[in-house]
A and B are shown apart, each in its own frame.
Chain A
Amino acid sequence: MNKIVEKEQFSENVFKLVVEAPDVAVSRKAGHFVIIKIGDKGERIPLTIAGSNPDKGTIDLVIQRVGVTSHKLTSLNVGDEITDLVGPLGKATHIEKFGTVLAACGGVGTAPMLPIIEALKKAGNKVITVLAARNKELIILEDQVRQFSDEVVIMTDDGSYGTKGLVTKGMEDIINREKVDKSIVIGPAIMMKFAALTTKKYNIPTEASLNTIMVDGTGMCGACRISVGGKTKFVCVDGPEFDAHQVDFDEMLMRLGAYKNEEVRAFEAYMNN
């Protein structure tokens, strides 16, 4: 059982929870994720760790409310407990001094990016971050991102904040302006697909942090499998970060829809209860 000690609402559907997990708070590194489960009958879902406080023994999780489990999780309050939480899982982000790093975040992808740019900045990189979302309300963690970025570019689809346009436009403007040595992209699969296509055009080595369907999260089931460079990989143990130019995003998008019908039915049942 892991107690929730802080809760913050970023936007209508995006929340931050600070959760007691002393062992994870100490051992986690940028890029790691946890698996959580709510109640005896809950499902196991992966969530990337957005930060931690080893002294207080807490980790930060940012959750976008979409389906049954994320609704259950975000309806918990300070003092409530998450039934099961295990981690840190996955491989940590490979951090080194690349030079100039372009970090592109789509929506809640900003949360898992935060510890990565922190580590990159501390390793001596120049960090340029693009925060992209549909509208102003969905731009999250801007102040924290600024702390670890040399420059922050904000893009919104509707132009309600920053520059109007997609993440790829923000990225290309920077790439055309100065030399970028490395790029990291995190966000919805479709956003990562196009962000990866953009950097590929300019031959910029790019990592994408993937969030697929998982059950155990320890390499046991293969629910999270994807194709990278034509080879099957497990996101939970081989990732979650992969060479974005090698990832078959179309297959990944397809596999993310595996339970679409079941999810819709379950969500309707949940909301009617």
Chain B
Amino acid sequence: MENITDYYKSERAQEWRADIRKSVKVKERTSKERTKMPEQEPTVRNKNSLEVNLGLTEKIALKEAQRCIDCPDPTCVKGCPVNIYIPKFIKKIEIGDFLGAATVLKDTNTLPAVCGRVCPQEKQCEAQCFYTIKLNQPAVAIGFLERFAADYERNSGKTAIPEVAEPNGIKVASIGSGPASLAWSADMVKMGYDVTVFEALHEIGGVLKYGIPEFRLPNSVVDFEIDNLEKMGVKFVKNFVVGKTATIDDLRAKGFKAFFVGSGAGLPRFMNIPGENSIGIFSSNEYLTRVNLMGAAKDDYDTPVIIGKNVAVVGGGNTAMDSVRTAKRLGAERAMIIYRRSREEMPARLEEVHHAIDEEIEFLNLNNPVEYIADDKGRVQKVVLQKMELGEPDASGRRRPIPIEGSEYEIEVDEVVVAVGVSPNPLIPATVAGLETTKWGTIVVNDDLQSSVEDIFAGGDIVRGGATVILAMGDGRKAAEAMDKYIKEKIKN
């Protein structure tokens, strides 16, 4: 930590930084109000699939960048799982060097345009911002600015393809192509490795493609980043299930020296209540995959999806918000969240909850489904809900929901999406001998993200059991560093 502090100090002392700091008085900086993200009108956007947030204009971005006082001790950086050098990129924006700002972001973050859109900033960098902790004022809009710089670079046509070391001919592979694997692949290819990313589906990007909807993260943003990785030399193999199409042993025999498992938390959880297998009840994975990955709601695509009038989505996380807002966009008259705790405990990103409320999503908080009732064709017709109240905090620190006996009532639904969480994908753990897992099915790793099998590293949801894009990316980077060390030591001996 010594070194990094010195680095921040010397960077901050640079002339351009000192000049820009002096150009506006601190008082003037802190007197400005936090910018609002321009967005599509709620009643317009809840009928289309275009992105909700429109992004900051240059003028607004410059103004917001001025709010950052360039603290001597940038606490915000500590709140970032990949330690983006936040004050530096913001000051680059303030001097109008937007491409320079993007370069700072990409020093530590492979997918800034993605993170600027989907990170829970209010729990990370912005929670540690000087404004939040010292002034009790809204934080600098770090997420908005990150997105601005990344989008500016992408739209400029001047995207710098990061430099790649001389190829060393050593083959390494990732299993899965989600955020953890993409971050891993970028770092590995930069170090000169021969990198292959294996993906089971027919599209690269994992949850960024099948999970997060277009209105929150356009596929074009993800594809742009994947194209860049391809230009850097990363090979992508689709329709390939490691453990099935070929085993890890087969791949070892083909010369792969180490593996990164980033296969995610792909297994949907259901609640195992009566009637849950009725027609019209989906896991959020199925619902979102049909709509996002398979284009089910578009006329000229073959995959069908049921379009509900009264849609209930069970859960309070980001996936629940994504599902309910998708249902509204597909024409639901009533699109409802059913959540067993209250607003306070919702794990979803704050912005998503606000957006959902603006889009006329109903919130049935402190409610829990106990049974589904179907018609004679097996189609879901009603859900029986039980009211809940909050008790003492549980292991997660959130107040425990307690059912109120005798409070059951029915509401009419013709479609239900169950978004109560996912479990780790068991495919890799089940097909690799000696791979140690926890009782929840996550892969056990040491501090270097190395598993009990020495050439297998793992990160993201397959280790964490259900976290965020940025934490997965942080794991990918950490695993790349450790894998490089492992391979070099192996070669030496």
> Nearest A residue to B276 by beta-carbon distance?
A232
Which residues 199-236 in A have Cβ within 8 Å of B in the complex?
215-216, 218-223, 225-227, 232
Count of CB-CB pairs between chains A and B under 8 Å? 116
> Nearest B residue to A1 by beta-carbon distance?
B239
Shortest beta-carbon distance, A268 to chain B, in Å? Answer: 13
Whether the Cβ atoms of A259 and B245 lie closer than 8 Å is no
Which of A38-46, A96-104, A161-169 contacts the other chain?
A38-46
Whether the Cβ atoms of B246 and A27 lie closer than 8 Å is yes
A220-B425, A221-B268 known; A88 vs B302 contact (CB < 8 Å): no
Whether the Cβ atoms of B426 and A219 lie closer than 8 Å is yes
A43-B294, A44-B294, A86-B240 known; A216 vs B427 contact (CB < 8 Å): no
A221-B285, A257-B377 known; A89 vs B244 contact (CB < 8 Å): yes
Which residues 67-105 in A have Cβ within 8 Å of B in the complex?
68-69, 83-89
Whether the Cβ atoms of B245 and A86 lie closer than 8 Å is yes
Whether the Cβ atoms of A23 and B240 lie closer than 8 Å is yes
A23-B240, A86-B202, A227-B277 known; A215 vs B302 contact (CB < 8 Å): no
User: How long is the Cα–Cα vector from A83 to B283 in the complex, in angstroms?
Assistant: 27
Let me know if A258 is at the binding interface, CB within 8 A: yes
Whether the Cβ atoms of A87 and B289 lie closer than 8 Å is no
User: How long is the Cα–Cα vector from A61 to B200 in the complex, in angstroms?
Assistant: 20
Shortest beta-carbon distance, A117 to chain B, in Å? Answer: 23
- Residues in A neighbouring B244, C-beta threshold 8 A: 27, 87-89
Whether the Cβ atoms of A258 and B285 lie closer than 8 Å is no
Let me know if A255 is at the binding interface, CB within 8 A: yes
> Nearest B residue to A262 by beta-carbon distance?
B304
Which residues 163-178 in A have Cβ within 8 Å of B in the complex?
none
Whether the Cβ atoms of A215 and B290 lie closer than 8 Å is yes
User: How long is the Cα–Cα vector from A215 to B295 in the complex, in angstroms?
Assistant: 12
Whether the Cβ atoms of A88 and B245 lie closer than 8 Å is yes
Whether the Cβ atoms of B302 and A43 lie closer than 8 Å is yes
Whether the Cβ atoms of A86 and B241 lie closer than 8 Å is yes
Whether the Cβ atoms of A251 and B302 lie closer than 8 Å is no
Shortest beta-carbon distance, B245 to chain A, in Å? Answer: 5
**Interface range on chain A (Cβ under 8 Å from partner):** 35 or more
Whether the Cβ atoms of B286 and A215 lie closer than 8 Å is yes
Let me know if B270 is at the binding interface, CB within 8 A: yes
User: How long is the Cα–Cα vector from A218 to B276 in the complex, in angstroms?
Assistant: 21
Most buried by A among B279, B295, B377: B279
Whether the Cβ atoms of B277 and A24 lie closer than 8 Å is no
User: How long is the Cα–Cα vector from A10 to B286 in the complex, in angstroms?
Assistant: 35
User: How long is the Cα–Cα vector from A226 to B267 in the complex, in angstroms?
Assistant: 15
Shortest beta-carbon distance, B141 to chain A, in Å? Answer: 35
- Residues in A neighbouring B304, C-beta threshold 8 A: 43, 259, 262-263, 266
Let me know if B343 is at the binding interface, CB within 8 A: no
Let me know if A121 is at the binding interface, CB within 8 A: no
Partner of B295 from the list A41, A83, A84 (CB cut-off 8 Å) is A41
Whether the Cβ atoms of B425 and A254 lie closer than 8 Å is no
Whether the Cβ atoms of A89 and B241 lie closer than 8 Å is yes
- Residues in A neighbouring B286, C-beta threshold 8 A: 215, 221-223
User: How long is the Cα–Cα vector from A237 to B272 in the complex, in angstroms?
Assistant: 18
9 contacting pairs across A/B (C-beta < 8 A): A43-B301, A84-B238, A86-B239, A89-B244, A215-B294, A218-B266, A221-B282, A255-B279, A266-B304
